[in-house]
Amino acid sequence: MRGYILRRVLQSIPILIGISIVAFLIIQLPPGDYLTVYASNLRSQGEFIGDEELEALKAQYALDKPVYMQYIRWITNFLQGNMGQSFYWNKPVSSLIGERIALSMVVSILTLIVTYGIAIPVGIYSSIKQYTWSDHVITLIAFIGVGLPSFLVALIVMYLGVKYFNLGAGGLFSADYLDAPWSFARVIDMLKHMWLPVIVIGISGTAGTIRVMRATTLDELSKPYVEAARARGLSELKAVLKYPVRVALNPILSTIGWMLPTIVSGETLVSLVLGLPTTGPLLYRALITQDMFLAASFILILSSLTVLGTLISDILLAWMDPRIRFGGAE
Amino acid sequence: MATEHINRRTFLKATALAAAAAMVQACAPAEPTSAPAPTKAPAAPTNTSAPAATATPEKMTFKEAPMLADLVKAGKLPPVEQRLPPSPQVLTPLTEVGTYGGTLRTAINNVNSLFGDPQAVIGTELVLRIDKDFSTIIGGLFESWEFNSNATEQVLHLRKGLRWSDGEPFTTQDCLFDYIDCKGNKELSPAGPSSAWKVGKAMTPMTMEAPDDYTLKLGFAEPYPLITLRQCFYSGCQYGGMFAPKHYGKQFHPAYADAAALDKLVKDNKFETWMQLMGAKMLVGSTIPAAVGLPGMTAFIRTADDPDHHTYERNPYYWKVDTSGQQLPYWDKVIVYIIADKELLTTRLVSGELDLIGHSAYLKNMELYQKSLDAQKLKIYMWKSTLPSAVLIYPQHTCKDKELREFFQKKDVRVALSISMNRDEINDVVHFGLGEVRQWAMWPDSAYYRPGDESHYVEYDPKQANELLDKAGYDKKDAEGYRLLPSGKRLGWLIEYDPEQGDIPPTLELCIQYWKAIGIELTIKPLNRSLLNERFNANDLIMTTWQGDISDIVWPQNPRAVICGLSNHTWARAWEAWLWTKDRFPDIEEEPPQWLKDQFDDWMAFQVELNADKRMEIARKIWDRYYEELPCFGTVAIPQPVVMKANITNFPEMGAWGYSCIRAVPVNPETFFFKS
């Protein structure tokens, strides 16, 4: 087990280096850089920026150096915990991400809890009751959930909320609690606003997980060892939960690591539609304005989290499933 | 309003007509005895302005907001008499003296663009300011000014006793700090001061001296009578080059701060250089101080800064009072939400969660606003916009395609393109019939307007358009009915545009049909703004568009489409390079035709002319040549709906709204309040 983990950790190092290079290069791909965006904004206000000034600015931001030099400068700083400056926001990248990450994580983790809390039991129930009317209803709802794009759900839910329930549209706090210090009332106010994004973001994940859970449990239910367990007189509930469900959780565990980047980035599209102050829209804006260091640092963080998440998934799987563990040790 | 009994379009039209009528009244000269129109042109240079404020009556007793009175009681703030200047500026509220309290909620799309509604509700404080007619210039932070006889020197007089929002006195030292220590520092401002403070073709920076704490002397290498226009526009704001809080900025500036302490400050704030630290701490966005902790002169000061909103609270040292002696502003707080999605912003407005939206209020949403009037207790004022044409279409006279360039350079061709557009239909389809069909020209209340300016080549006449094109030598057609160029290629081109300006795409969709009817194939392509700009700079465009923003304040600084060059109103890259940046782009520049050279020379003469009447004559020549040549063409002029809570008081029913006049600034947002 230890050798397995060590090997997986070592493997991820070259992957991370590769990712950091790609992340930086991607930002350089579109024509121009932040300064051309800046110059065009100045121009639309009737300000001229001369060549010499542009050169001076380029030198100040080190944009006049070759790309590999810029990369080395950025990555050495990054490794020392300095993610560089955002041109657009005029702020350090770390504080920009920092001030949004807590909220992103609260929304994402709540969504995860709701998703698994609903999806796993419902999936199991649906598989046990295969082809009954309740299974059909669940299946129908799940397919709709998988099929609807979440931004559309966000729009519909918001419309219904505003039109019929007199709910606020978007945001996480009402005006009274916006700048208030944390208190019980403020938490309640936040929860009042929070359920909407949680439901919207959770719907497709819940629906998908229900389907996966149902399918994998069904695979297992027909296997001889379940028959054997039943034959030995185990209660139906125990016979299902103790063995087939444990195996059926495999695909979910193997993807749980992928949730890690999602927890940090949140759902970009939904956040944009609902106006949530999470990190997703920050990345979106950074890409549009060619805000180099913000975008590159962000992409690198998300990619690293994906690598880390996969690692965690692998370890979890090895722990859950001896076949993988021993396969790896040989 | 009984909306149910009349159909929607009639109602909207009626609203617009009412607005138009109000507009005409607003535009009429205030008194027949006042000076003739031309002298109304902004800032006759030799003028010494009369201070705008009514002098403070001898025994006015000052009152303050309850939230400040509490702080005074707790000993955290000096009493109001000590916070106000000895004779504070007295503002007469538009309709009535207000009451303190309330939080105003508005929103922006983009965190860096405070020039939308924040300006309209917070207001801004500039060196000088635009008066309520949106044209005349009056005192701002400086109460008066005078020029020497040839306008190479301007002396400005600062209001006495002004204080920054943290209580420190405001003096001319703050002016020197911004202009010399900040804008004159090569590391901090590689580009030097903004072009507003540079004079002539050589762009020589002005000089600044402070003979005493309240007098500021500016010197110019060439006459610069029009500097007052800059002082009451964007460049005239805090950190725009003419003033910034020295006592606060010192700690970030190596010329004043202790090197080790500054180094630590930079590190603690996670910056790499002191320039970045200074840039962030002194940040002013679109004329509004935009960093928490940064002292300002505006009625509201930013106190919280979150990813989804900014909060502004009243400035306890604000230097204006109303006629009853109450220190302004009336509102306690302003919250500016950051809502990237425009539809979400509209939703929040009509669900009653926002109190005032102008910048993000669109004609296409009028029906929706009307429906929410009663439920959310809203009202709509139809203001005039600074867009006497919502869209301006620019054929590129010097595009790289030889045949198309020859085509566009023919005046008859341009006339044909203009009169083949059915502007009534554009108005109905794109602007819901609320716009006004006219050529791009100044609004009738402008000092630069003459009756008839708006009617050049605007009449819809596809038959004549076809004849003009036939006569111009493009009479051969292919099987599909499109005209042919001399080389036998089909006559057609690509128009590239910035899709962020919402009125452009539907207008262009219609143009495809109009020009198909005269045998031209138009293809449209949205393009990211900075890419569009790059393609323009490389002279790669054939045709493009931009909104037709203009005002009396802006035009003398920036001729817009009247002479190509400066800003995005541009129609001949090669000529522009020759005129404005000679020898800098030798591959691109080409000598322009005589009329355009005349335009440019007159423009330069206009900049240094001291006599207001003569200046007006020159302006007239420039405009006449423009109308005559029709280098580009407009579509439909539009009004600007401003949607707000019905109980917002002192907000004028009519005004001018747009980039070109800093939103509602001239109407004193500090006097707005919620009437209970």
Residue B308 contacts A where some CB pair is shorter than 8 Å: yes
Which residue type sits at B326?
Q
Same-domain status, A198 and A116: yes
CB contacts of A82 in chain B (<8 Å) are 270, 272
Same-domain status, A27 and A57: yes
CA distance A171 to chain B (A): 8
Q: Residue A214: its pLDDT value, please?
A: 92
Pairing of strands B153-158, B215-219: antiparallel
pLDDT band (50, 70, 90) for residue B672:
very high
Q: Do B234 and A172 touch (CB under 8 A)?
A: no
Residue B192 contacts A where some CB pair is shorter than 8 Å: yes
Q: Would the CA dihedral through A142, A148, A151, A157 be positive or negative? A: negative
Q: A45, A77, A93: which is the final residue of a domain?
A: A93
Of A15-29, A164-178, B293-307, B318-332, which range is least confident?
A164-178
**CA distance to A163, B530, B637, per residue, from B574 (Å):** 55, 19, 29
Q: Is there a domain that residue A302 lies in?
A: no
Do residues A254 and A317 touch, judged by C-beta distance below 8 A? yes
CA distance B61 to chain A (A): 33
Q: How far apart are CA A250 and CA A228, in angstroms?
A: 22
Determine the longest span between alpha carbons in chain A, in angstroms. 86
Q: Is there a domain that residue A264 lies in?
A: yes
Q: Do B306 and A99 touch (CB under 8 A)?
A: yes
Going by C-alpha positions, the residue among B569, B527, B397 that lies closest to residue A43 is B569
Mean pLDDT score, A85-101: 82
Report pLDDT digits (tens) over B348-374. Answer: 888 888 999 998 898 888 988 998 888
Q: A65, A93, A121: which is the final residue of a domain?
A: A93
Q: Residue B412: its pLDDT value, please?
A: 94
Q: Residue B56: its pLDDT value, please?
A: 56
Which of B234, B303, B348 has its CB closest to that of A170? B348
CB contacts of A31 in chain B (<8 Å) are 531, 534
Q: How far apart are CA B633 and CA B646, in angstroms?
A: 38
Q: Can you give the CATH number for the domain in which A142 is found?
A: 1.10.3720
CB contacts of A177 in chain B (<8 Å) are none
Q: Is there a domain that residue A330 lies in?
A: no
CB contacts of A155 in chain B (<8 Å) are 343
Q: Is the pLDDT of residue A35 over 90?
A: no
Q: Residue B595: its pLDDT value, please?
A: 94
Q: Is there a domain that residue A295 lies in?
A: no
Q: Which two tokens stand for residue B598?
A: 């005349």
pLDDT band (50, 70, 90) for residue B33:
very low
Q: Do A46 and B566 touch (CB under 8 A)?
A: yes
Mean pLDDT score, B161-167: 94
In this structure, the number of other CB atoms found within 10 A of the CB of residue A200 comes to 23
Q: Do A49 and B337 touch (CB under 8 A)?
A: no
Structural domain count, chain A: 2
Same-domain status, A46 and A113: no
Q: Is there a domain that residue A39 lies in?
A: yes
Q: Do A92 and B344 touch (CB under 8 A)?
A: no
pLDDT top residue among B416 and A100 = B416
Q: Do B347 and A82 touch (CB under 8 A)?
A: no
Of B23-27, B84-88, B131-135, which range is least confident?
B23-27
Q: Is there a domain that residue A103 lies in?
A: yes
Residues 6+ apart with CB under 8 A from A167: A161, A196
Tell me, yes or no, if the pTM score tops 0.90.
no
Average per-residue pLDDT for chain A: 81
Residue B459 contacts A where some CB pair is shorter than 8 Å: no
Q: Which two tokens stand for residue A57?
A: 């600015």
Same-domain status, A226 and A117: yes
Q: Is there a domain that residue A324 lies in?
A: no
Q: Do A168 and B554 touch (CB under 8 A)?
A: no
Q: Residue B664: its pLDDT value, please?
A: 62
Report pLDDT digits (tens) over A299-322. Answer: 888 888 888 888 888 888 777 777
Q: Would the CA dihedral through B529, B533, B534, B539 be positive or negative? A: positive
Same-domain status, A275 and A209: yes
Do residues B325 and B63 touch, judged by C-beta distance below 8 A? yes
Q: Residue A50: its pLDDT value, please?
A: 65
Exposed / middle / buried, residue B75 (Cβ in 10 Å: 0-12, 13-18, 19+): exposed
Q: Do A82 and B309 touch (CB under 8 A)?
A: no
Of A76-85, B76-85, B271-280, which range is least confident?
A76-85
Report pLDDT digits (tens) over A130-156. Answer: 889 999 999 999 999 888 888 888 888
Q: A93, A126, A157: which is the final residue of a domain?
A: A93
Q: Is the pLDDT of residue B38 over 60?
A: no
Q: Would the CA dihedral through A90, A96, A100, A102 be positive or negative? A: negative
Q: How far apart are CA B246 and CA B255, in angstroms?
A: 12
Going by C-alpha positions, the residue among B292, B190, B296 that lies closest to residue B239 is B296
Report pLDDT digits (tens) over B307-325. Answer: 788 999 999 999 999 999 9
Q: Is there a domain that residue A311 lies in?
A: no
Long-range contacts at B531-538 (CB < 8 A, ≥ 24 apart): B531/A31, B531/A32, B532/A40, B532/B496, B532/B497, B532/B498, B533/A36, B533/A39, B533/A40, B533/A43, B533/B568, B534/A31, B534/A32, B534/A36, B534/A40, B535/B496, B536/B570, B536/B573, B537/B573, B538/B588
CB contacts of B103 in chain A (<8 Å) are 175
Q: Is the pLDDT of residue A262 over 80?
A: no
Average per-residue pLDDT for chain B: 86
CB contacts of B577 in chain A (<8 Å) are none
Mean pLDDT score, B6-32: 43
CB contacts of B338 in chain A (<8 Å) are 275, 277
Which of A36, A100, A274 has its CB closest to that of B534? A36
Place of tokens 């940064």: B294
Residues 6+ apart with CB under 8 A from B44: B225, B612
Same-domain status, A129 and A276: yes
Q: Do B307 and A179 touch (CB under 8 A)?
A: no
Interface test with A, best of B109, B235, B270 (most A CBs within 10 A): B270
Does the interface ipTM go beyond 0.95? no
Name B163's bridge partners: B169
Same-domain status, A36 and A153: no
Q: Residue A167: its pLDDT value, please?
A: 67
Q: Residue B47: its pLDDT value, please?
A: 46
Quick one: closest CA in B to A40, which residue? B530
Q: Residue B537: its pLDDT value, please?
A: 84
CB contacts of A89 in chain B (<8 Å) are 111-112
Q: Is the pLDDT of residue B451 over 70?
A: yes
Pairing of strands B142-147, B153-158: antiparallel
**CA distance to B42, B170, B196, B220, B222, per residue, from B206 (Å):** 21, 22, 9, 5, 9
The H-or-E segment that residue B153 falls in is: strand B153-158
Q: Is the pLDDT of residue B642 over 60?
A: yes
Interface of A with B in 224-263 (CB under 8 A): none
pLDDT band (50, 70, 90) for residue A168:
low
Same-domain status, A200 and A114: yes
Same-domain status, A196 and A182: yes
pLDDT band (50, 70, 90) for residue B268:
confident
pLDDT top residue among B19 and B174 = B174
Same-domain status, A54 and A24: yes
Q: How far apart are CA B408 and CA B493, in angstroms?
A: 11
Interface test with A, best of B265, B286, B308, B540 (most A CBs within 10 A): B308
First-to-last C-alpha distance (Å) of chain A? 10
Q: Do B337 and A275 touch (CB under 8 A)?
A: yes
CB contacts of A178 in chain B (<8 Å) are 304, 306, 309, 311, 335
Same-domain status, A140 and A83: no
Give me the domain span that covers residue A19: 15-93
Q: Residue B1: its pLDDT value, please?
A: 37
Same-domain status, A46 and A106: no
Interface of A with B in 283-302 (CB under 8 A): 285, 288, 290
pLDDT band (50, 70, 90) for residue A282:
confident
- Domains for chain B: give ranges and CATH numbers: 61-123+298-360+369-387+645-676 (3.40.190.10), 392-637 (3.10.105.10)
